[in-house]
Homo-oligomer: A and B are copies of this chain.
Amino acid sequence: MPDQRRRRLASLAARLGEEKIDGLILTSLSNIRYLTGFSGSSALLLVTPAEARLITDFRYETQVADEVGDIARVRIEPVSLWVGLWALLRKMQSIEVLGFESAHLIHRDFQRLLSDGSRWQWRPQLDLVEHLRESKDEDEVALISEAARIATSALASVLPRIRVGLTELQVAGVLEKALRDEGSEDAPFPPIVASGPRSALPHARPSSRTIQRGDLLLLDFGAQHRGYCSDITRTFVVGMPTAEQRDVYAIVRDANHIASASVRPGMTGKAADALARSYIERQGYGDGFGHSLGHGLGLEVHEAPRLARTVEAALRQGVVVTIEPGIYRPGWGGVRIEDDVHLSANGPQMLTNFSRELIEVA
Contacts and interface: CB of A to CB of B under 8 A. Distances in A.
A161 to B, nearest CB: 11
A17 interface: no
Interface string A177-217: 11111011111001000000000011101111000000000
A295 to B, nearest CB: 15
A63 B190 CA distance: 18
A173 B170 contact: no
Given A173-B178, A185-B169, A124 B103 contact: no
A109 B319 CA distance: 27
A58 interface: yes
A336 to B, nearest CB: 13
B181 A170 contact: yes
Contacts of A330: 62
Contact of A190 (B59, B111, B186): B186
A97 interface: no
A265 B170 CA distance: 39
A110 B40 CA distance: 27
B176 A205 contact: no
Nearest to A203: B59
A185 B192 CA distance: 11
Nearest to A190: B186
Nearest to A172: B180
Nearest to A122: B107
Interface string A201-241: 11101111000000000000000000000000000000000
Nearest to A204: B63
Nearest to A184: B169
A136 B265 CA distance: 53
Contacts of A40: 203
Interface of A: 40-41, 58-60, 62-63, 100, 102-108, 110-111, 124, 126, 169-170, 172-174, 176-181, 183-187, 190, 201-203, 205-208, 290-291, 330
The 6 A-B pairs with the shortest beta carbon distances in the complex, nearest first, are A173-B180, A173-B177, A177-B177, A176-B176, A102-B108, A102-B107
